[in-house]
Chains A and B, each alone.
Chain A
Amino acid sequence: MTIGLASRTGVELIAVRPLLEAPVDVRLPLAPGDRPLVTTGDSVAAGSPVAERFRDTRLEEVPGPIPDAVPGRRWSGQLSPGSLGIRRRAARTSGELLFEAGGRWRVATGEHGEPLESPVDGAVRAVRPGVDIVIRANGRALPGVAAIGSPARGVLTVETGPDGELRPGLIDVSAAGRILVVGSRVDAETLTRARAMGARGMIVAALSGKERRDFLASVARQRASLHRADSFAVLVLDGAVRRPIASAIMAVLAAIAGREAALVIDPPALVFDEPSVAIPAPDPGWVRVRSGPLVGQEGQWVGLAGPRRFAAGTHLEAGFVEFPGEPPVALPLNDLERYA
Chain B
Amino acid sequence: MNLDSRAFFALDEGAATTSAAIVARLRDRWRLLASIAFPAAISTDAILRLLVDRLREADPGIAAALGAESALDRWGRLAVRGRPAGRIAVVAGAERAVAPYAGAATLTGWRVTTASPERLDPLALSSLLLDRGLDAVLIGAGEPPGPDERPTLDDLAALVAGVAARRPELIVVLAGAMAERAAPFEALTGRSGAVLLAPAPVDHPAELALRSLLGELRSASDDGRRAIVRAVGSLADALDRRIEVLEVGITGGLRAHALPGSGGEPGAVHTAMLASAGLTGEDREDVAVDDLMAWSTTPVDRIRLRDRLRELRTAPWGDCAGDGAHLRLAAARAALTRLVDQTPDLGALPSPDIVVAAGGAWAVAPGPAIALALIDVVRRSGAANLAYDHARLLGPLGAIEDAAERRSVVGDLAGELLAPLGSVVMPQGLHAGRSAGRLVVRGESGTTEVDLVPGGLELVDLPPGETASAEFHFRDTVRVGARGRQFSVAVAGGLGGLLVDLRDVPLRLPERHERRREMLAAWQGALWGGEDG
Contacts and interface: CB of A to CB of B under 8 A. Distances in A.
B533 A292 contact: no
Interface-central residue, A10, A13, A209, by most chain B CB under 10 Å: A209
Contacts of A131: 130, 132, 166-167
B317 A334 contact: yes
Contacts of A335: 318-320
A310 B41 contact: no
Interface residues of B, number: 53
B435 to A, nearest CB: 33
B447 interface: no
Nearest to A15: B41
B449 interface: no
B222 to A, nearest CB: 23
B427 interface: no
Contact of B130 (A27, A130, A334): A130
Contacts of B529: 313
B159 interface: yes
Contacts of A106: 122, 159
A324 B533 CA distance: 26
Interface in B230-287: 285
A66 interface: no
A124 to B, nearest CB: 16
B65 interface: no
A210 interface: yes
Contacts of B41: 15-16
Interface stretch (A96-104, A135-143, A224-232): A96-104
Contact of A59 (B46, B47, B123, B528): B123
Contacts of B341: none
A314 B321 contact: yes
B58 interface: no
Nearest to A30: B130
A319 to B, nearest CB: 11
A72 interface: yes
B306 A210 contact: yes
A239 B315 contact: yes
Contacts of B161: 99
Contact of B50 (A10, A29, A99): A10
Interface in A33-63: 33, 57-59
Contacts of B154: 101-102
B530 A309 contact: yes
B314 to A, nearest CB: 5
A312 B321 contact: yes
B180 interface: no
Given A101-B158, A290-B315, A128 B123 contact: no
A309 B321 CA distance: 9
Given A59-B122, A312-B323, A312-B531, A72 B50 contact: no
B488 interface: no
Contacts of B121: 59
B158 A99 contact: yes
A97 B310 CA distance: 40
A145 interface: yes
Contact of B42 (A13, A27, A309, A332): A13
A241 interface: yes
B528 A71 contact: no
B130 A313 contact: no
Interface string B116-128: 0000011100110
B324 interface: yes
A27 B131 CA distance: 13
Contacts of A311: 321-323, 325, 533
Contacts of A10: 50
B50 to A, nearest CB: 7
B308 interface: yes
B307 interface: yes
A310 B323 CA distance: 11
Interface-central residue, A70, A99, A240, A312, by most chain B CB under 10 Å: A312
Contact of A57 (B123, B314, B320): B123
A98 B126 CA distance: 8
B182 interface: no
B114 to A, nearest CB: 20
B303 interface: yes
A12 B50 CA distance: 10
A208 B308 CA distance: 9
Contacts of B530: 309, 312-313
Interface in A239-262: 239-241
Contacts of B308: 240-241
A14 B41 CA distance: 8
A254 B271 CA distance: 54
Contacts of A101: 154-155, 158-159
A239 B311 contact: yes
B311 A241 contact: yes
A266 B167 CA distance: 19
B307 A72 contact: no
A209 B304 CA distance: 8
B413 interface: no
B86 interface: no
Interface in A316-340: 316-317, 332-335
A333 B364 CA distance: 13
A309 B320 CA distance: 11
Nearest to B303: A210
A312 B303 contact: no
25 contacts: A16-B41, A27-B132, A32-B127, A59-B122, A59-B123, A98-B126, A98-B159, A99-B126, A106-B122, A106-B159, A131-B130, A145-B314, A208-B307, A239-B307, A240-B307, A241-B307, A291-B318, A291-B324, A292-B324, A309-B530, A314-B364, A315-B364, A316-B320, A334-B317, A335-B319
Given A101-B155, A129-B166, A291-B311, 18 more contacts: A13-B50, A32-B127, A72-B165, A98-B159, A99-B162, A130-B130, A132-B132, A208-B303, A209-B310, A210-B306, A238-B314, A239-B315, A291-B315, A291-B324, A310-B321, A316-B321, A334-B38, A335-B319
What 10 pairs between A and B have smallest CB-CB spacing?
A313-B530, A99-B162, A291-B318, A311-B322, A310-B321, A311-B533, A101-B158, A240-B307, A334-B317, A71-B162
